[in-house]
Amino acid sequence: MEEYPEELRSPPVSLVAVVGCGELHQAITTHLHSQQPPINSLALPDVSKISFLISPKPKTDSSSSAAVGILKRDWLQKHRTRIPSVIAALFTSDRISGDPAQWLQLCSDLEELKASIRARNIRLVLVVVHSHSKDDITEDRMLALRKRAEVDSKYIITFSQNDAFELKQSLHRLGSIFAELANTYYKDEGRKIKTKIEKKSFSSIELSIRYCFKVAVYAEFRRDWVEALRFYEDAYHALREMIGTSTRTTIQRLVEIKTVAEQLHFKISTLLLHGGKIPDAVTWFRQHNTWYKRIIGSPEAVFLHWEWMSRQFLVFAELLETSSIAIPTISSVIVGTAERPLTEWEFHPAHYYQLAAHYLKEKRSSLEFAVSMSESLGEVDSSAESVVPSTYVGQFARLVEQGNAHVMQPLTDDEYTRYAVAEGKRFQDSFEIIALLKKSYESYSNLKVHRMGSFCGFQMAKEYYGVGDFSNAKPLFDGIASLYRQEGWVTLLWEVLGYLRECSRKQGMVKDFIEYSLEMAALPVSSKTGDQLFGFKECGPAGPVSLQQRKLIHNEVFGFICGELELASSDESANLKVTVDNPLHLEIDVVSPLRLVLLASVAFHEHIVKPGSSTSITLSLLSQLPHTVEIDQLEVQFNQSDCNFIIVNSHRHSGALVDGHQGHRVETASSLSLSTNRWLRLTYDVKSDESGKLECISVIAKLAPHFTICCRAESPASMDELPLWKFEDRVETYPTKDPALAFSGQRAIQVEEPESQVDLNLGLSGPAFVGESFLVPVTLASKGHAVYSGELKINLVDVRGGGLISPSDTEPFSMDTHHVQLLGISEPEGEDESQQDTDKIKKIQESFGLVSVPFLKCGESWSCKLEIKWHRPKPVMLYVSLRYSPDSNESTAQKVNIHKSLQIDGKTAIMISHRLLLPFRQDPLLPSRIKPVNDTDQSPSLPSNETSILIISAKNCTDVPLRFQSMSLEVDGDDFGNSCSVQHGGEDLSDPALVVPGEEFKKVFSIIPKTNSSKIGLGNVCLRWRRDSGLDEQSGTTVNSVLTKQKLPDVNLEVSPLVLRLDCPPYAILGEPFTYFIEIQNQTQLLQEVKFSLADAQSFVMSGSHNDTVFVLPKSVHVLSYKLVPLASGVQQLPRFTLTSVRYSAGFQPSIAASTLFVFPSKPHFKMIDVQDKRIKSLATE
């Protein structure tokens, strides 16, 4: 696009001229420029200069002159820069109103001006510049001026510059007049030519094209884009007709037509694209392309055609690129006619760049041909020097000096061709092509269109290759090759690899050269594919894709590998040969394209093997090279380097030449030849002494004395298919003979640990109880191994998962955080501790312990005890693992691990419950009992200052008998001691009580609360117990006693206002009367009125009042006494007594048990012995 002249590239702008009053020109020019649309202006200092600008006599009759060309080269430029549409003559007002001499001068200036513009029909504007506000011009003068100038009165304007505002107004007025007149000028000019077209008053088709072009340009001046487009199209079509009519056009003629067509097309495309009609523009371009593509012209100048085609694409691509920046939503406007739909790619500039490059390549090849032709003819291009573009667009002529003048002399076609060839030789097309392709490549890459991008890249790389720039070509080729590899386009890959091979050959890169060659030789090209693609002309340096070629490459590359051939590099440097000094080593990993060349699959026959015992390993090698390859030596490498071994080809191996490490095993194979697509299977034994993973890492194949390939070993089970070959229709073979191994074989094997010969025993005696230090004996007994540097690891893990820490208590320093705690590890006594302490590791944490085991000889044993304490009932897994080495050499020896685990339940041993009782037949009236409160919620109440009885029972919940050593009530804090007196507390049981499973142990305490507070804590029950460990038990020595504490709940204390006591003998005898006292004690300071009643009972005869109301004095006791005679024997109900306190409005009745009495039929006889003892001793009931 840059090649075009400026006047063609930008839309034309109206041109005006300003004459006279030079001081104002700057302001006027600037103002006109800023107008919308802008106006260009020419500034002339005075009228006399006008003749320089405008030739006084334009061509009188263009139609009559013989049409030697289509468009004049300078016509457009002339109208844009030299011929104004309007001339404004500026006169100062004093010149008009001045003396006659001035006036006469003015008139003559005007005449001159009129004369020069008349022929061209240029409009005239008179501008009277008022220099002072007082200037005054008479009407007569103005009229005279108007008549002289022959202009309409409205085109005489005054221009005042007194102040900024007036100046601005004047400028504005001037601007609008200019715009109007310029418009009419261009319209008139256009119309004039249009009538010529309509009347068809032209002698030749060239003129019709020229007229159309002019009309279009005038329309463009007026910004009438629609008309401009129409006439450009008309011109274009007329031009096409010209080709159609003239049967045999000369070279120069064709060049001219195409140049004009190009310009017209450029104008049309620009107008379409600027109008936002991108699909139209694309369609137009497509038509343009199809019309002219076939007009190649005469064969000797065919390169001109290709150059022209290339330029069309390039220019359109550039146009599209600039307009697509302005219109971003290009993809949404994709439409197209139904029969010729537009594809999306036609909207991408990249497409056009690519084709421009394509045509430029065509041009280059035909130009080369033309150059070689001209050189072979021995022509000397001396004639080319004086050839210049002539007056018509697309024409060239020879400039000949004739005396002082230069004369254009037309060229013959031959001369022109020579000139064009000479011109063409001056340019380096390759760089141009690369630049175009690069644009296309980058554009496609940005669009993530990789394949088209790669194609462009490929062409680019070929160009680089062509100009010998291998360092640029190679990375491009490499990128493209990887795409083709990935997608399996073998033929395309072949071509690219061929270039790569040559690149590396020319750059002298031996390793790359051999890699590419090997890959090419191993490509899946069969004779079948070769048939179809046989005889490519453009098959690149690699030659045609065929099996034959593969074999050739194979032979060539093995010639290099064996050092027989040398790499013929461009520069004659050394080390291009594989020799002793310059050995070559290739690496093939699992993603390498060279897997085709050599694939190593390694499978162990077993998954697990015992240390020291041997297992079979199958090594399978596959190559797709077309010829059979003989391997000198194979080295198999493992992660345990002791297992590495070497396989030597007995045919090739001379005997003494085993290179490799000394200690390695050397196997000999009868044949190590790899034929195409056939697995070479080798099975050997491997023995490892080291436990852990044994993995085959790589196989190093030595193909020639100085050439090795290191191939990463792959497991058959997880082996990827061969790239490229996987798409081929071929027989699948397995790497191993055993198909199961082919599917499941692994290149790694697990070597087991040596079997442990030490017993680890965990002794256990039943469940553990909360609170006790539970002992778990651990015994180690060596059976076959001595134990060196043994370590015992102990772990306590919650069975239900998670830690042994309750989530609520997370403070690390608190000892109670662990529900189960490893307290310690007690080692057996009597061993020499002095020696132990030196190297003993002993580390104990809450749930983890580590203890070192002393050296044990064969047959010895060692034991320790783990002390574990449960704080909460919880099942726990105990893991104990022993790690030792059976050998004294610690650094090399294998460690042996033994693991044991055991689940231990922690249980609650004892359930403690309690009961509170009042003394027999004594009932305090407690106000809280009267109130109807929800009973379940109520904590028990005790009368203060009264004796209450507390019974604590402890039940053995375990499966083993327990011995209770003591039970006591422990008070916490001093206040309890003051507030409450406890009897029978804290005494040890002289003889520990045996409590069998399920049995309950009870102890009675009497409590007298002595405080005034309403609540009282009863303290903790402390129960000291231990397991009953059999008959000959020595208490306290082996089994430690456990102290279980349980806090008793708080009780309410109340002062009872009334206390009712029933007093009667412990028993009665049938028929014998006895006295039944009922005491009502008033403990308040108030007089208490109580009502009582005594119901009759069947078994007793009673004397005394049944009902009454009595007043009990404060702090006194009222006694009611009844005489009763029992009438029946046995347990009898005494008459029921009911008391109602008026003050508390509470009825009150002793319990039935309290009012029951046993009646003997006759007087019994008791032996009263040692009553005192029996009372102390606690009662154990079932």
Question: Which residues of this chain interact with another protein, rule CB under 8 A?
Answer: 289-290, 293, 331, 334, 341, 343-346, 351, 355, 358, 449-452, 455, 458, 484, 486-492, 495, 528, 532-533, 535-539, 726-729
State the first-to-last Cα distance of the chain, in angstroms, to the nearest integer: 118
Q: Rank residues 369 and 727 by Cβ distance to another protein and give the closer one.
A: 727
d(CA 503, CA 78): 55
Work out how close the CB of 451 gets to another protein at its nearest, in angstroms, rounded to a whole number.
Answer: 5
Q: Rank residues 358 and 505 by Cβ distance to another protein and give the closer one.
A: 358
Q: Rank residues 485 and 1027 by Cβ distance to another protein and give the closer one.
A: 485
d(CA 945, CA 1016): 13
Q: Contact 1100/1125 with Cβ under 8 angstroms? A: yes
For 629, list phi and psi in degrees, rounded to 5.
-115, 135
Give me the residue label for tokens 């094209």. 209
Which candidate, 459, 527, 454, 444, places its Cα nearest to that of 484?
Answer: 454
CB-based contacts of 199: which residues, under 8 Å, 6+ apart? none
Peptide linkage before 1057 cis (omega within 30 of 0): no
Q: Rank residues 172 and 726 by Cβ distance to another protein and give the closer one.
A: 726
d(CA 822, CA 443): 72
d(CA 983, CA 949): 10
Q: Rank residues 109 and 346 by Cβ distance to another protein and give the closer one.
A: 346
Q: Rank residues 536 and 734 by Cβ distance to another protein and give the closer one.
A: 536
The arrangement of strands across the sheet holding 1146-1148 comes to 1107-1112, 1088-1094, 1137-1141, 1146-1148
Work out how close the CB of 350 gets to another protein at its nearest, in angstroms, rounded to a whole number.
Answer: 11
Work out how close the CB of 522 gets to another protein at its nearest, in angstroms, rounded to a whole number.
Answer: 17
Which candidate, 536, 434, 556, 445, places its Cα nearest to that of 491?
Answer: 536
Work out how close the CB of 487 gets to another protein at its nearest, in angstroms, rounded to a whole number.
Answer: 4
Give me the residue label for tokens 């002794």. 763
Work out how close the CB of 601 gets to another protein at its nearest, in angstroms, rounded to a whole number.
Answer: 21
Q: Rank residues 188 and 728 by Cβ distance to another protein and give the closer one.
A: 728
Work out how close the CB of 386 gets to another protein at its nearest, in angstroms, rounded to a whole number.
Answer: 37
Q: Contact 441/415 with Cβ under 8 angstroms? A: no
Whole-number Cα distances in Å, 644 to 586, 664, 671: 20, 6, 20
33: tokens are 């420029």
Whole-number Cα distances in Å, 544 to 495, 535, 896: 8, 6, 65
Burial class from Cβ neighbours inside 10 Å (0-12, 13-18, 19+) for residue 729 reads exposed
Q: Rank residues 537 and 1165 by Cβ distance to another protein and give the closer one.
A: 537
Q: Which residues pair with 936 in a beta bridge?
A: none
Work out how close the CB of 273 gets to another protein at its nearest, in angstroms, rounded to a whole number.
Answer: 20
Q: Contact 635/672 with Cβ under 8 angstroms? A: no
Q: Rank residues 107 and 334 by Cβ distance to another protein and give the closer one.
A: 334
Work out how close the CB of 534 gets to another protein at its nearest, in angstroms, rounded to a whole number.
Answer: 9
1038: tokens are 């082996």
Q: Rank residues 457 and 1009 by Cβ distance to another protein and give the closer one.
A: 457
CA 167 distance to own-chain centroid: 67
Q: Rank residues 452 and 594 by Cβ distance to another protein and give the closer one.
A: 452
Work out how close the CB of 448 gets to another protein at its nearest, in angstroms, rounded to a whole number.
Answer: 9
Work out how close the CB of 268 gets to another protein at its nearest, in angstroms, rounded to a whole number.
Answer: 21
Work out how close the CB of 331 gets to another protein at its nearest, in angstroms, rounded to a whole number.
Answer: 7
d(CA 823, CA 868): 5
Work out how close the CB of 609 gets to another protein at its nearest, in angstroms, rounded to a whole number.
Answer: 37
817: tokens are 């955080």
d(CA 936, CA 928): 14
d(CA 390, CA 398): 8
Cα-Cα-Cα-Cα dihedral of 726, 730, 735, 737, to 10°?
Answer: 150
Give me the residue label for tokens 């006292």. 1077
Work out how close the CB of 286 gets to another protein at its nearest, in angstroms, rounded to a whole number.
Answer: 8
Count the residues in the chain. 1182
Q: Rank residues 483 and 1097 by Cβ distance to another protein and give the closer one.
A: 483
Q: Contact 884/787 with Cβ under 8 angstroms? A: yes
Work out how close the CB of 32 gets to another protein at its nearest, in angstroms, rounded to a whole number.
Answer: 47
Work out how close the CB of 330 gets to another protein at its nearest, in angstroms, rounded to a whole number.
Answer: 12
Q: Contact 602/619 with Cβ under 8 angstroms? A: yes
Q: Rank residues 345 and 369 by Cβ distance to another protein and give the closer one.
A: 345
Q: Rank residues 336 and 961 by Cβ distance to another protein and give the closer one.
A: 336
Q: Rank residues 484 and 964 by Cβ distance to another protein and give the closer one.
A: 484
Work out how close the CB of 874 gets to another protein at its nearest, in angstroms, rounded to a whole number.
Answer: 58
Q: Contact 216/190 with Cβ under 8 angstroms? A: no
d(CA 965, CA 93): 141
Work out how close the CB of 538 gets to another protein at its nearest, in angstroms, rounded to a whole number.
Answer: 6
1108: enclosing H helix or E strand = strand 1107-1112
**Single-letter amino acid, residue 401:** E
d(CA 272, CA 282): 9
Q: Based on C-alpha coordinates, what's the Rg of the chain?
A: 61
Q: Rank residues 543 and 1017 by Cβ distance to another protein and give the closer one.
A: 543
Q: Rank residues 538 and 829 by Cβ distance to another protein and give the closer one.
A: 538
SS3 310: helix
Q: Rank residues 315 and 1042 by Cβ distance to another protein and give the closer one.
A: 315
Q: Contact 507/477 with Cβ under 8 angstroms? A: no
d(CA 226, CA 271): 9
d(CA 265, CA 285): 8
Work out how close the CB of 593 gets to another protein at its nearest, in angstroms, rounded to a whole number.
Answer: 15
